Chains A and B, each alone.
Chain A
């Protein structure tokens, strides 16, 4: 046996004053009385045994010394040598993914069963054992580091809740192994409802939760603006049946809480149905798809997980844009702008002075030497400006490079367009070439200015078939959307637990090299702050399905001037994970035989304190009870 606090044994010297006090005769209070004959009669009735009377003080001393010894032992915190050698290190990997919210056939939530299992592991720990809890839902994280304190573990466990994220055993197990650090008596216990991997590791004990239950889920929901019609939008919907039989149900579509459509569905066992639904709306908003929990005939749907029955998507609003077309006359330009229902077109001969902040000017041909402030789209410039140098004309240009992933060129392909002529420009300012000819001359480029972007299309519209192609109105639509400040006509609905890079709207975007704090608020109104610069943001793992809000922090002062008015972006987040929604269990699901320490798992100091308390009671009963009884 060894002591973790051997200096505490110094307290044993307190035995000396105890013995001294015992040896010193305590002078009793002397009380004169008229007669002691009544007292003698009283105590003759209940005379204490002589042996006991003699032993009483000695026994009292021994009990007090024993009491002191036990207390000193407890403070010294003794540890048995064999218990040190058998010290366990347990890493519990707790799956708190979305599927753990499923209700099993016994009516219990899988996560509650998992919590009970972990509690059982905690209570079975011996005092010298160490344990850590690693989470495997949404993202891998250490919820509680290695500790021998059961209360800390239980409190941590109490604060853990199931997420809407996917199971991350592939990253949690390496994390657990790092915590284990090749301990001699280390073990990893995985409490999960996920399927067993094909190759089982010997150092992992699996405690599998749940049994086979059916489920129906929305495994995908996205919405985008139609590239052809600014008011139209398309809904991509994927619904999966994870039952072993055919099920029929309805799916409700709502836009801003207004019922949009009720889609009856009939899915075979294991079938996933993808559907595209087109509707029109200028305002946009929150699109919600939900599975009715009752079938058409009124019977309850075989659905074990409710969280994947609802999915959201964000449909961007389309705002009207004032466009001034300064041209001497171009039929194509005039009609392509007039065809866009979101554009309020004005045709002018001169550049308006000043240019309204929320308007776009399209200059065709004639351009000033110095381009005015504001958002300007230049088509076929006829002279050099402060941004470029016009060096000549390019005959029959061929498209060599095109940034197809750029929002300005979304759904636009110019490589098959026949262009007879284009202006040869040499940019003299900071620019971004979007389309480049084989000769190296830019055909479509963007100048980013603090006072407003300038887009330049060098192609002669009257010679060639570009105005006749579908790419032409789309190109203009993209450009006007870009100028309007909206990020895009498509805000993807993200999946829980996935890293997502989003294009921010202008009202949240910052200058390219400026950093700003954004507040990200979950559907349960828990906020976190993220840093961002430029127009793109990488979201952290979103582990809660629903509508998230991204908005400027109050301290932000580097927002682009065009976006000072309001700064809020809605982000739809869905489980959309077939692996989480499929609650059918193919393996046997054996429960781990978790090692239980049984009784005797408490530290020795605790037994010493209990024994001291018993002695205290005994001493009181033997000696001090006389004072009251």
Chain B
């Protein structure tokens, strides 16, 4: 018998006032109450098999990237590393300890030795927990959480530090920066307790709150449907401007790409609760499909123009298949900054 998981749910208070579309929240809550309750089957999100597949993914990632994934990668910073990088002219104030005396003896030129500094990569996974991630079932939200866990496990396996932020119209909750594979179980428990909440998706609010926390720069993976009424650009621009390396995973359901609606219907927005009465015809359906594909095209085009990894996927695929496809499609070297 399907049961909800309210006991594990982390309470997320709804903000007061008005939502992003200006609809009074009292009205919005009333409409949300009319929506069907989100009761999901009690299938474990992270079971033993999931962990086995995570291990397999970790091995595959090493084979694919041959040590270039996340940690164990060199930064462009030179510093106190042990591996020689290059020389530069000595300048006043430089540390004499790094002068290459052998070279000075041979050529009489003061050159300073530079070493490549190695540091672990900080991976921030920003997980969309807005209501739009779970419309009629939790398939998309489950896939997003499984993807989060898998990406975190791969990063932890490479000794990178991982933090996860749940967001909707802002940061709702976060799993603090952590390191080591043994922390994956805690992360999975935290993910298991997550529940969709919030009224709207606001990437701008998310990134604002995220960058203000002053985290160290690193890889910021956004897992969302990107159904932000204000658009995805402000949020991603903010991440880029603050030196983070964004990576985008867009998830959508098959019904969103190709809706099976016809005739007079009442469309209820699960986030805002707004109800819109429409007469859906074949023509309007076709225009919808065109508009949706245009949205995905704009996201892809944006990411391509700024060198951002972008994965667009249907929520009906398995998380490991999606992750393997992501790995195989990565044909450029990992970020080295």
Contacts and interface: CB of A to CB of B under 8 A. Distances in A.
B53 to A, nearest CB: 27
B275 A42 contact: no
A40 interface: yes
B281 A626 contact: yes
Nearest to B285: A42
B145 to A, nearest CB: 17
Contact of A39 (B34, B264, B272, B278): B278
Interface bracket on A = 20 to 34
Contacts of A41: 291
B227 interface: yes
A43 B285 CA distance: 10
Interface string B64-81: 000000000000000000
B283 A40 contact: no
Given A37-B227, A40-B276, A629 B135 contact: no
B96 interface: no
Interface string B206-229: 000000000000000000010101
Contacts of B278: 39, 43
Interface stretch (A8-16, A25-33, A61-69, A266-274): A25-33
Q: Which of A28, A30, A31, A41 has the most CB of B within 10 A?
A: A31
Contacts of A45: 287
A39 B280 CA distance: 10
Interface in A585-629: 626-629
A26 B263 CA distance: 13
A38 B135 contact: no
A33 B274 contact: no
Contact of A38 (B264, B266, B292): B292
Contact of A31 (B261, B284, B287): B261
Interface string A54-82: 00000000000000000000000000000
B261 A35 contact: no
A34 interface: yes
Contacts of B277: 28
A624 B132 CA distance: 32
B268 A33 contact: yes
Given A31-B265, A43-B278, A37 B229 contact: yes
Interface in B224-243: 225, 227, 229
B28 to A, nearest CB: 13
B268 A29 contact: no
Interface in B25-45: 34-36
Interface string B268-304: 1111101111110111100110011001000000000
A125 B261 CA distance: 54
B282 A34 contact: no
Contacts of B133: 34
A202 interface: no
B256 interface: yes
Given A38-B295, A42-B288, A31 B281 contact: no
A31 B282 CA distance: 17
Contacts of B272: 36
Contact of B281 (A30, A33, A627): A627
Contacts of A30: 34, 265-266, 268, 275
A29 B270 contact: no
A32 B31 CA distance: 11
A32 B288 contact: no
A33 B295 contact: no
Contacts of A40: 276
B263 A627 contact: yes
B253 interface: yes
B30 to A, nearest CB: 14
Interface string B98-142: 000000000000000000000000000000000011011000000
A35 B227 contact: yes
A42 B259 CA distance: 14
Contacts of A28: 264-266, 277
Contacts of B295: 38
A34 B228 CA distance: 11
A41 B259 CA distance: 15
A78 B239 CA distance: 80
A239 B27 CA distance: 110
B325 interface: no
A37 B252 CA distance: 14
B267 interface: yes
B324 interface: no
B269 A35 contact: yes
Given A31-B261, A32-B136, A36-B276, A629 B281 contact: yes
A38 B283 CA distance: 14
A28 B279 CA distance: 10
B232 to A, nearest CB: 12
Contacts of B292: 38
Contacts of B136: 32
Nearest to B252: A34
Q: Which of B35, B132, B262, B278 has the most CB of A within 10 A?
A: B278
A34 B267 CA distance: 10
Given A30-B275, A32-B36, A36-B267, 12 more contacts: A26-B264, A30-B34, A31-B268, A32-B270, A33-B259, A34-B225, A35-B271, A36-B272, A37-B229, A43-B278, A627-B279, A628-B281
Interface of B: 34-36, 132-133, 135-136, 225, 227, 229, 252-253, 256, 259, 261-272, 274-279, 281-284, 287-288, 291-292, 295
Q: Which 7 A-B pairs have the closest CB atoms?
A: A34-B132, A35-B227, A30-B266, A28-B266, A36-B269, A42-B287, A626-B279
16 contacts: A29-B263, A30-B275, A31-B261, A33-B135, A33-B267, A34-B269, A35-B225, A37-B229, A39-B278, A39-B288, A40-B276, A41-B291, A45-B287, A46-B284, A46-B287, A629-B282
